[in-house]
Structure 1
């Protein structure tokens, strides 16, 4: 059930207003900035869309757990690490552009468009996962099985185990390809691999405890599709 105590409407309005204003300013600036900063502004827009989608999906499909922190901007575990990765992303992009000032030619980013495809695909997969899982989905691991929990094996879950993680993985990798941030690409792959390995291992122990043989059968029939994580 929706709990109004967990949702400060003034706080939600404030975050939405700031995000909406930032997106408007960012889109407007695309028409005035130099080409070398165009990818960075698009990255900012994409990041803001991600935050809005996280809250919107939670509001629509996870009414029992949605809070004013469901934007995943602040107030959650992992936020510090997330923002550190974003700072590294911006730092690498600006550093490379500074170095390129002293190079007589401009390298072409052939992976920019594939990066955008990965970003879009990642957001879509994550949306489908949150929608299909419904009340069983949460940004936090449930240590005990609740009455509204159910094992979802249809929709996107029929083809991918932990599709929300796959969606975030593709989204993150796509950003680095779009920005030609190859150092951060390697860093992101390593960090996300470490994080998802631990998270999925712990989560699947709980899921086996909750659903026993039903989950074991589902586990054998599906893959995470995240590299090196079965």
Structure 2
């Protein structure tokens, strides 16, 4: 607030400036209306990225999604900000950054409907324009502290069921690794889903290394079988 003057001994602003933080958008979107926050480096969001961004603004959870290579054959849906970066870095460190289709992260215990809408977008992008070559979807994460793994998996499972035909057309192979509260129930549901869908789906708990499924996904898409 600068400059200001005094009126009857009380401060009175002559000019002032305020800043909005998009971190607080989920609490204030009704007050702020359709405020457009600029993206770094002048990026323009795609329609799918915009949809996830709008979901993210309306929830106290975190829902992030960036398309890196629409024709990539390795796609991720990772729980946790740190874990999501580790998965992306691991694919790159193994020499296959060019095959990484996206960066995706969900955390903060999103509810089932939020996860469902989020997973639909990731799967739609991961299965678009099938070219006959195999693809891989990594549904990964570390060991959660408070997020109910089974509850978040319910949303993902619903989306996978909805997109069954797309998954098969894209020759998608799914790799799951997760730990945390109620993870045994969540992993059991995933294993049952794999049998129902007829889509290759491998499931691991915290006994497996967090990023081991990255190497499996790469081996899968590069194999000729």
TM-score (norm 2): 0.32
Greater Cα radius of gyration, structure 1 or 2: 2
Give the strand-richer structure, 1 or 2: 2
TM-score (norm 1): 0.32
